[in-house]
Amino acid sequence: MQRDPLDQPGLRAQALPLGGTREQVDSGTAFNPALSVILDGVYYSEFTGEWDAPAGFDSGHSHSHGHGHGHGHDHDLDEGFNLRETEIAFSASVDNYFDAMVILAIEGDSGIEVEEAYLTTQNLPAGLQVKAGKFLSDIGYINKQHPHDWDFVDRPLVNEFLFGDHGLQEKGVQLSWVPATPVYTRFGVELLQGETSGIANYIGSGRVEEVTVTPDPVTGDPTRQRWRDDNPFDDASGPRLFTGFFKIAPDLGYNHAAQFGLSYGIATTFQNEQQHSSTRYESWDGDAWFAGVDAVYKYDSGGAYGHGNLRLQGEYFLREIDVDYMSQSFQGVNNGSLQTTDSFSDRRRQDGLYLQAVYGFAPRWEVGARFEALGLTNESLVPDRSAGEFEDFDASYRYTLNTTWRPTHFSALRAQLNYNDFAKEDDHTNRGASFMLQYNLSLGVHGAHPF
């Protein structure tokens, strides 16, 4: 089966020895999986300006940013030293039919999260392959990559704010097909549960509860009130998110490689809510779709340790959300019901892109530059209740320079400078610069980085 020229090599099933039987051997790694550990630490400093999340991307979807550490972005990095992520990966050929991969992530000092846990089939006919479990979607290019594969410290804004903190990461099944063509082509469809990604939030039916403590108007003693009612959402069985992708890599010769891709997705359910201490409750309920294009070009100069190599990469995505909005508040005394105060509907579009280049200016040394635009079309889901409509905002931009030293394939040190010029929702400056210093170390079995 043809392999993606820009992808890591797949796991290979071990054949039975000559004259052996199935009872003699099941797989080469079934009880001894390949193990790797990735250490990722970042020193973070904001040395000029002050900013929050880009305007229009802070309400009505899963990416909820605040005014905390890192001013609500850069994955909420603290000023100073951060152990951003420790990644532990197990991979094995289960038998001649299935490979398995489990990737666990420890973010900072928090608990362990299952980033990916999936099986892939081997030896299906006609270039077909099935992946099932929890995995990063193959839409676009960077979405399926883990942080240690990035050329920059942080995730592109368009991937983070349109699809969520970890990109499009869902439970489901993927079917891909690599036909026998003169050039590499790959088609794929994914049926995903649609739970927490920025394009397919899901809540389902449930209860809304608010507890308030106010002084008694006569005695002044604190009076506790408890408000409860059903939320406005209906249950919807999964899968609720359906995606498709196409990739083609023309043959450009020995030193050159390129891949171009198209992606599309439909979310049958988009639900989100915000609850306020004032007993006001906001909800968004509808559906969504997205589309995107991506391109990657790489030149291998043949120089020592990457000297003279060049990588160019870019993606553009647009999403549209068709949503009904309601603002409700609790009325009556204890156990009072939600009453609608404002409601309206609209179809809203937001988009974003990034372009980046990385050049090996000396053996083991690279320099990178990246330009990002978020919300060139910025029809947000932020409600203007007095006008009975959603607000529109200007575009946000980020400019990045970095340099990376790779002493070996297993380690990298990177210094990066970001300048943010974000659109504003309020009177904050929303403009400034930050500096990051990153180390990334790989222990154990470590496959090649995506080409």
DSSP state of 349: E
- What residue segments make up the domains of the chain, in order of their start? 34-65+82-444
Q: How far apart are CA 399 and CA 310, in angstroms?
A: 19
Q: How far apart are CA 169 and CA 231, in angstroms?
A: 26
pTM for the structure as a whole:
0.88
* Contact criterion met (CB below 8 Å) for 141 and 155: no
Q: How far apart are CA 65 and CA 75, in angstroms?
A: 9
Residues 6+ apart with CB under 8 A from 101: 11, 89, 90, 91, 116, 117, 118, 119, 120
Question: What would the CATH number be for the domain defined by 34-65+82-444?
Answer: 2.40.160.10
Render each residue's pLDDT in the chain as its tens digit; 451 residues: 455 555 444 333 333 334 444 444 444 455 578 999 999 999 999 988 888 889 998 753 333 333 333 344 455 788 999 999 899 999 999 989 999 999 999 987 778 999 999 999 998 999 999 999 999 999 999 999 999 999 999 999 999 999 988 899 999 999 999 999 999 999 999 999 998 778 999 999 999 888 777 777 777 777 777 778 889 999 999 899 999 999 999 999 889 999 999 999 999 999 999 988 778 899 999 999 999 999 999 999 999 999 999 999 999 999 999 999 999 988 766 566 888 889 999 999 999 999 999 999 999 999 999 999 999 999 999 999 989 999 999 999 999 999 999 999 899 999 999 999 999 887 677 899 999 999 999 998 765 555 5
* Contact criterion met (CB below 8 Å) for 437 and 414: yes
Residues 6+ apart with CB under 8 A from 185: 178, 179, 246, 247, 248, 249
